[in-house]
Amino acid sequence: MGSLRRKIVNKLKNRYRLIIRKDDNLEEKVSVVLKPSNLILLISSGFLLFGTIIYLMLAYTPLNYIFPTRNASYSNREFFELIQKIDSLEQGMTQLQLQSQILNQVLSGEILPKDIPTDVISSPSISSNDENLSNYESDFISLTTFTSTRNFLSPLTGVMSDSFNVQRNHFGVDIVAKHKEVVKSIQQGTVIFSGWTPEGGHTIVVQHPDNFISVYKHNSVLLKKTGTFVQAGSPIALVGNTGELSSGPHLHFELWDKGLAVNPNQYINF
């Protein structure tokens, strides 16, 4: 065993010369003396240096997105922020879907039984008979107890010509005013629709906090575009006589709470 060890030690101490010559005249260009021990040390140092560089690149550069390391604080932070953004996008998509459903109900002027939350409306179905319609209307009124904390402003100064009446499918109030009188937003919010509908003419719809939506129909001019943020009392339209269901200059105003049309008189002093 001792002799084998001595042989290995002696081989590591041997000196070797690496010579590079020109092929045509064998002129010596490079001559390097090497030892096996020095060669092993040089190769080991090279691997160590290469490994250190790779680790630093993976731990402290954007490459940790592809090859994350256990101690890569950079990737951990970025992944956490990415998860937060995904959650926010999912919540935003859910809110947009809710707004789209409510907007379709508002613009169609109809309320389907399958769209009414069962935990809010007590009657199991809505038919054309007067008894069910009366029950349905009483459910609406019970949901719209006036509270001053809403701080809803009147959209227009004028004379109320028609009131909220579910039996006649009139889900708002009509306010007669001069042609091109200014219509104002009842509260701060975001315009989710601003355009033309056959029945309502120039119509604008505003999404308010707590899932309230206000609808303004039959305008002559719309002053705000979809996606615009408005403050309470901001001018949003001018009174007109547009749409199939209009018979003179007036504003048809609707107020919706979580997808249900409610009596505006329970919330606003006109």
Alpha-carbon gap, residue 3 to 135, rounded angstroms: 108
Cβ atoms within 10 Å, residue 265:
15
Predicted local distance difference test score (pLDDT) of residue 108: 62
Alpha-carbon gap, residue 241 to 201, rounded angstroms: 8
Alpha-carbon gap, residue 250 to 76, rounded angstroms: 59
Alpha-carbon gap, residue 230 to 44, rounded angstroms: 69
Predicted local distance difference test score (pLDDT) of residue 173: 96
Predicted local distance difference test score (pLDDT) of residue 149: 45
**Closest of 236, 200, 232 to residue 221, by C-alpha:** 236
Alpha-carbon gap, residue 196 to 204, rounded angstroms: 9
CA-CA-CA-CA dihedral for 97, 102, 103, 109, to nearest 10: 150
Q: Which two tokens stand for residue 203?
A: 């119509």
Predicted local distance difference test score (pLDDT) of residue 68: 54
Predicted local distance difference test score (pLDDT) of residue 122: 35
Predicted local distance difference test score (pLDDT) of residue 107: 64
Question: Could you give the domains of the chain?
Answer: 2-60 (no CATH), 130-266 (2.70.70.10)
8 Å CB contact between 152 and 263: no
User: Which residue's entry shows tokens 């609406």?
Assistant: 140
pLDDT tens per residue across span 21-53: 877 777 777 877 777 777 788 888 888 998 888
Q: What is the pTM of this model?
A: 0.51
Q: Which two tokens stand for residue 253?
A: 């105003």
Alpha-carbon gap, residue 219 to 243, rounded angstroms: 9
Amino acid sitting at position 68: P
Alpha-carbon gap, residue 42 to 36, rounded angstroms: 10
Sites in the chain below the pLDDT cut of 50: 72-74, 111-149
Predicted local distance difference test score (pLDDT) of residue 222: 96
Amino acid sitting at position 194: S
Predicted local distance difference test score (pLDDT) of residue 179: 94
Give the phi and the psi of residue 258 in degrees, each rounded to 5.
55, 40
Burial class (CB in 10 A: 0-12, 13-18, 19+), 220: middle
Predicted local distance difference test score (pLDDT) of residue 130: 46
Q: Residue 181 carries which DSSP code? A: P
